[in-house]
Amino acid sequence: MTAALSVEQVKLLDRFSTSSKSQTGTLYLTATHLLFIDANQKETWILHHHIAAVEKLALTTSGCPLVIQCKNFRIVHFIVPRERDCHDIYNSLLQLSKPARYDELYAFSYNPKQSEVERVRGWQLIDLAEEFSRMGVPNSNWQLSDANRDYKICETYPRELYVPRSASKPIIVGSSKFRSKGRFPVLSYYRKDNEAAICRCSQPLSGFSARCLEDEHMLQAISKANPTNRYMYVVDTRPKLNAMANRAAGKGYENEDNYSNIRFQFVGIENIHVMRSSLQKLLEVCGTRGLSVNDFLSGLESCGWLRHIKAVLEAAVFLAKAIAFEGASVLVHCSDGWDRTSQVCSLGSLLLDPFYRTIKGFMVLIEKDWIAFGHKFSDRCGQLDGDPKEISPVFAQFLESVWHLTEQFPQAFEYNEAFLLQIHEHVHSCQFGNFIGNCQKEREELKLKEKTYSLWPFLLDEQKKYQNPIYNEHFSQSFAILEPDTVSFNFKFWRNMYHQFDHTMHPRQSVLNHVMNMREQNKLLEKDIKQLEAKLGHHATKEETDAAFTKEPLRSVHPISPVHKTLQCFKKEQPLLRANDCIRTIEGANAADNRYSEYMEELSKTEPGMVSLEYGVARMTC
């Protein structure tokens, strides 16, 4: 590690500590991290890209305070002895945490010492063509279209798109011109058992009266691609008031009079600006020290965060029920189709398909509905120095919604909350190439697959840490759909997301961690049992070899346990030792114990040595 700047005698304060104690150590500034090492050599690493805000407070008698807020909700409070050193660190962090170009991100310099073959294999781990094939697409009603092969129709969509077979290229092109950002209706998820589909797009450019025949034909084609149910839902994820306001700008929502066989539904999820403000209020509440229970709960309610999570989940439940119970296809959109649309489509798929509730399946889901379909990770996560109004916790809301589902259905998910937290960590770290950029076209231009590494193989290498110990695959697959109860009292504050770095707040016990530790102990015991069985088998083989040279087979006087019928008698070559000298008992057992009296009588006879587990206890004669 080469430090560009180091400052000694820096104090690290604990924002929730009831005492005024602090840790004193040295603060190092490197090209990629801020590192604090205390007197006990404990290291605190903060990646520059995780830093959301840096604040230099007024000078005090003990030094100059420096407060750093991170995107992963870590908050660190340093006291730097000299104001000049504090000023240097402050200016450096402002510059390093807001790079101007993509090639300044950590992913382009990160080197895990993998070979080029391993890098390529890591990027090939998720294959979306294979995922659509798993769903049963292409088929007689859905086909792979090459209309967007060169990103000519829609720059923010992937190259490969699945559309109804009856949708010709002129219909696709016409529909794209009538949709915001050219994001025309395409397939997101196909349910094989009833042929219902989840499709996604952006809002129509309808204004107050405009219509487009090609767009109407596109929706009719989606409806006809589902032979079991001819009507379909169009779900606008926005509040109705917002959608109506967009009409004045020449946008808006579908007019049911112009589209045949559609049922229109608003679900009322607020926009990115409301969500950003809500999260900021939440962080103020959970970051305030010494709040009473009433003040905390009141603040949690007034920030509206859990109310927004509830709205997102309810929209997903509506979609999943329409697919599973009514067999109706659903078209989902918001304004531009890359924020709320991604939330609802991915959560709806998660409720419908147990594959997405596995570790590998969840990676596929994120690749499909978030990365490939152009959620603007760069803008929403503030990867570069840009417009702060574009930053919004849209993906964090998705992860929190999934966490709420894992709380209601703990046996249905292969992954635990540590998996969700680790993904959230790396969405903001810019350590891997998966989440860099705003769309696939931009990622190809950046040559991310040639210059950076994929996150997914690194998570799979450590998947033992992310496995839910009470996951039951049969339980997960037994539901046609997960139906979470979205009553208000089922939504709670996600402590381990917002306070994961506040270790001194209060002692914690994790039931899942305890179960995981017990499972690891059981595995070690099972390994010991196998080793002992292997040793017994080795001794048995040796006895069989020795017995082959005797003239007459040796027989046991007492019956052998069925489990060990294959064990042979020891060769009778030497006089047996006295029973008291030969018996090996389990600790705490003694010869006077009634349970062993029968064996004592048998062992007192001059018979060949035997191993018997008939009473569940191993004893061996020599």
Residues assigned a catalytic role: 334
Closest CA to 428 of 70, 68, 54, 53: 70
Render 228-272 in DSSP notation, one character per residue: T-S-EEEEE-S-HHHHHHHHTTT-----TTTSTTEEEEE-----H
What is the spatial distance between Cα 345 and Cα 311, in angstroms, rounded to a whole number? 14
DSSP label of 567? P
Q: Which two tokens stand for residue 488?
A: 């208000």
| Radius of gyration for the alpha carbons in the chain, expressed in angstroms and rounded | 32
DSSP state letters, 186-233: EEEEE-TTT--EEEE---B--TTT---HHHHHHHHHHHHT-TT-S-EE
- Helices (runs of H) and strands (runs of E) counted in the chain: 22, 16
CB 234 within 8 A of CB 264: yes
Rounded CA-CA distance 273/296 in Å is: 23
CA dist 360 to 114, 123, 433, 476, 611, Å?
21, 14, 18, 15, 47
Cis peptide before 138 (omega within 30 of 0): yes
Residue ranges in 409-503 assigned as alpha helix (H): 417-429, 440-446, 448-451, 456-461, 473-477, 495-498
Integer angstrom CA distances of residue 530 from 527, 534, 535, 537, 585: 5, 6, 9, 10, 20
What is the spatial distance between Cα 541 and Cα 529, in angstroms, rounded to a whole number?
Answer: 18
- Is the Cβ–Cβ distance between 339 and 370 less than 8 Å? no
For residue 168, the Cα-to-chain-centroid distance in whole angstroms is 38
